[in-house]
């Protein structure tokens, strides 16, 4: 763990979490993984992040056991079950940030889809407003919400994400 990123004398689960996902960019990289981003160049195009920092973060996430690197050479990065467990936290942060800065107009919405058919919208507590269950990421579809700003960026990842997309499914960017 690099200097300045850990909290060695905090006996607390939050501190342990932040040592893994608390650095700048790390949670946005994981968000992109949930949205289906897999490749170095796609992370780079979608986040305005320097290559050196992206390299360091991906390595840290792999060695923390949150990502696995698949294939030699031009690899792809995939979420491990431990990382998928973080979904409620990421969803909670997205909801809280939207409520705080864009009330009533979320930038992105998440929907429970069963076996093909849509069930309902996900509420602030991560539960489906129709059936009341808390669906797994693999049963969630995401779409741009009413607060989205389509003029903000125009990279291949952002373009692909303007269509509805199921979480964890690889994005097709070309």
Partner DNA sequence: TCTCTTTGGTCTGTTGATCGAACCAGAAGG
Partner DNA sequence: CCTTCTGGTTCGATCAACAGACCAAAGAGA
Residue 40 contacts residue 54 (beta carbons within 8 Å) = yes
Unique residue bearing structure tokens 């608390």:
22
Site string for DNA, 71-100 (x = CB under 7 A): -xxxxx------------------------
CB of 102 to DNA, least distance (A): 23
Task: Label each residue of 127-173 as H, E or C.
Answer: CECCCCCCCCHHHEEEEECCCCCCCCCCCHHHHHCCCCEECCCCCCC
| Interaction between residue 4 and DNA (CB under 7 A) | yes
Among 42-50, 81-89, 116-124, 158-166, the segment contacting DNA (CB under 7 A): 42-50
| Class of residue 9 by CB neighbours under 10 A (exposed 0-12, middle 13-18, buried 19+) | exposed
- Interacting residue ranges for a copy of itself, rule: CB under 8 A: 4-5, 7, 9-18, 20, 22, 24, 27-28, 31, 47-48, 82, 85-86, 88-90, 92-102, 106-108, 125-126, 134, 148-149, 152-153
Token code pair at residue 41: 């160049």
CB of 170 to a copy of itself, least distance (A): 19
Q: Which residues bind DNA (CB under 7 A)?
A: 2-5, 23-25, 39-41, 48-53, 55-56, 58, 72-76
């Amino acid at each position: 763990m690099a200097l300045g990123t850990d909290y060695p004398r905090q006996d607390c689960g939050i501190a342990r979490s932040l040592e893994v996902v608390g650095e700048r960019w790390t949670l946005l990289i994981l968000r992109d993984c949930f949205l289906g981003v897999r490749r170095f160049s796609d992370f780079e195009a979608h986040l305005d992040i320097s290559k050196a920092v992206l390299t360091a973060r991906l390595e840290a996430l792999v060695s923390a056991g949150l990502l696995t690197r698949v294939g030699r050479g031009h690899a792809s990065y995939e979420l491990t079950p431990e990382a998928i467990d973080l979904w409620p936290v990421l969803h909670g942060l997205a909801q809280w940030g939207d409520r705080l800065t864009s009330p009533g107009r979320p930038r992105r919405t998440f929907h429970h889809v069963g076996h093909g058919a849509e069930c309902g919208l996900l509420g602030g507590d991560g539960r489906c407003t129709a059936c009341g269950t808390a669906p797994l990421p693999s049963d969630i579809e995401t779409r741009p919400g009413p607060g989205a700003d389509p003029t903000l960026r125009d990279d291949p990842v952002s373009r692909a994400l303007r269509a509805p997309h199921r979480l964890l499914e690889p994005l097709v960017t070309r």
